[in-house]
Amino acid sequence: MLGRLIVSVRDLESFDANSAGLLPGNHADEPWRLSVIASPACDLTSLDGDLERIEAFNERHDDASRGLCAIDAVELRAESSGEIDAALDLIPGEFAVFIEMPIHGDPRGMIAALAGTNGAAKVRTGGPSVEHFPTPVELAQFIWSCAMADTPFKATAGLHHPFRHDSVTVPGAKEFGFLNVFIGAALARHERIDEKNLELLLADESRDSFAFEDGRIAWRGRGLSVDDIASARAEFALSYGSCSVEEPIEDLKAAGLLL
């Protein structure tokens, strides 16, 4: 279930120290894959230095005697379409690139700047205080804009549980459910929902609004086949970052959705 371990570029030396003896030592095995959080796009000099460190790391860990590991994705923040263009010009095309962007305004220009590139959008859905949580309107606009631009995205922060609920760590905040986000994204991707209903889905706290059947998932009667879900997950709603792998699994088991 863990697609990539996410590590800050400044923690690569610590990663090396702590992963010694754990990484695969045989080319017949799959290397560990990392996504590295780099300097913001507004600081291209630092970003260039980060890329040199990433290249050196990959060269070092292409040697099985040092443990097989590969950085194949880079994540960074940008505040404008111009910053996105500059970063994508600098980052080699073999990397998947995730650009975290603000969504409190209108993100459509920044999302459009990623269309047709090796870049994907990244959205933060929570944080240490209430103001770090976007509203259902803002998140719906982001996901809908990504769908209309055919720009894939990933999410991070505040997605620990399957369904929308009151946060237990940030008083006054409501956390989005990762199933709300992924089912809503798949429905938007396949044009089974409009932006207003996507907003309602993201805000929906009722488990009873969702139907999980053999070969089909639905929200209030709007259904998705297995093929619909597979294509949305592979090409559009790519992943989300979580502090815990076990917590989402246990919640899905408690909801009767995972054996």
Measured between alpha carbons, how far is 90 from 41 in angstroms, rounded to an integer? 10
Query: What is the tens place of the pLDDT at every residue in 19-71?
Result: 999 999 999 999 999 999 999 999 999 999 999 999 999 999 999 999 999 99
Q: Which of 7-11, 98-102, 239-243 has the lowest mean pLDDT?
A: 239-243
**Sequence-distant (≥ 6) Cβ neighbours of residue 103 within 8 angstroms:** 123, 134, 138, 139, 141, 142
pLDDT bucket at 146, cuts 50 / 70 / 90: very high
Residues in the chain: 259
CA-angle at 2, arms to 163 and 32, nearest 5°: 165
DSSP state letter for 176: P
Query: What is the tens place of the pLDDT at every residue in 181-223?
Result: 999 999 999 999 999 999 999 999 999 999 999 999 999 999 9
Query: What is the tens place of the pLDDT at every residue in 3-16?
Result: 899 999 999 999 99
DSSP state letter for 206: -
Measured between alpha carbons, how far is 74 from 71 in angstroms, rounded to an integer? 8
